[in-house]
Structure 1
């Protein structure tokens, strides 16, 4: 069982021929640091499972860039509005480091629904997980203090703090880089 099959098995609870059927539609793709997975106005026609590297989801309104999320190993990279509804993206998705992915094309993603009876149930669970995670992010931004948001993200993925420029992390947590530096300095002094 390769890592993609292992992840499909773990994430979706599938084994055997169904898991192999899904895995057979993915191919390996790579992005070099700085390359774009998606730009605003483009329709995302892929769903990727990130094997390695980091990808930054962000919006650029002309005055500032706002980091929405940073995806790393074992995360999914897509724009659901494009993949599901064929709508153009409002976001950039850019590789922060050289990155490797397993990628399925939109037409193969749709065909899985025709081939596997339980695919629609699995898809619903996948989208529900995405929604729950987004709901948690919104909750953290609206209800947590800056220090609590820092701890939430640090507990979720401490490696980001060694690999990602602080201004991106600060933006993603809804704070200024100065606030993030102050919080980090305080945490370091407590350690």
Structure 2
């Protein structure tokens, strides 16, 4: 399947045709309808997916309020780390915000792939390092930037989301109240 091959190449770098032949059968296409759950908190996530198209929200309930940790869009990798890698109950709910198409590997196939294709561990390590850098950048922005600077950076990187999802989700991702986000947006509009 050419799309799976391209997604694997995009995320893991140059793979030979033989390597792609080994890896591809472990993945399958999956569809989620708007509001379907990829996984629920308290359960154990049993799959890892690449988002081919669509959008997923990662969130939890804290003190009776939904807290959005991240919005994943096309070309992102999605799983619930505690469930998938550590076989512990999920902390996060992951829900489709729109109809979403995924390229998925089950936990069972993931473990088989690790055994059959030893180079997978190195490819995965490189990919996880990229994810870790992204997480570090996010933590750094939360401890070193003002709310307005975080808004500017997120807007520059995710402009299309601002017209597609409720702003309270973006505010939550940015670690600010919806009111603060609204004030910043209004200031930006009047200064333009």
C-alpha separation between the residues in 2 aligned to 1:134 and 1:142?
A: 13
Decide which moves more: 16-25 or 154-163: 16-25
Residue 49 (structure 2) aligns with: 48
Helix, strand or coil for the counterpart of 1:94? strand
What is the deviation of 1:118? 1.0
Q: Deviations over 1:36-87 (max 9, x none)?
A: 1111111111001111111000010242111000001111110122221111
C-alpha separation between the residues in 1 aligned to 2:147 and 2:22?
A: 44
Alignment of 1:13-162 (within 5 A): 13=13, 14-162=15-163
Residue 2 (structure 1) aligns with: 2
What is the deviation of 1:121? 0.6
Task: Give 5+ residue unaligned stretches, structure 2.
Answer: none
C-alpha separation between the residues in 1 aligned to 2:9 and 2:85?
A: 23
Task: Give 5+ residue unaligned stretches, structure 1.
Answer: none
Quote the RMSD (CA, aligned, Å).
1.4
Moved over 3 A (4+): none
C-alpha separation between the residues in 2 aligned to 1:76 and 1:85?
A: 17
C-alpha separation between the residues in 1 aligned to 2:71 and 2:132?
A: 16
C-alpha separation between the residues in 1 aligned to 2:191 and 2:3?
A: 38
Helix, strand or coil for the counterpart of 2:159? coil
What is the number of equivalent residue pairs in this alignment?
191
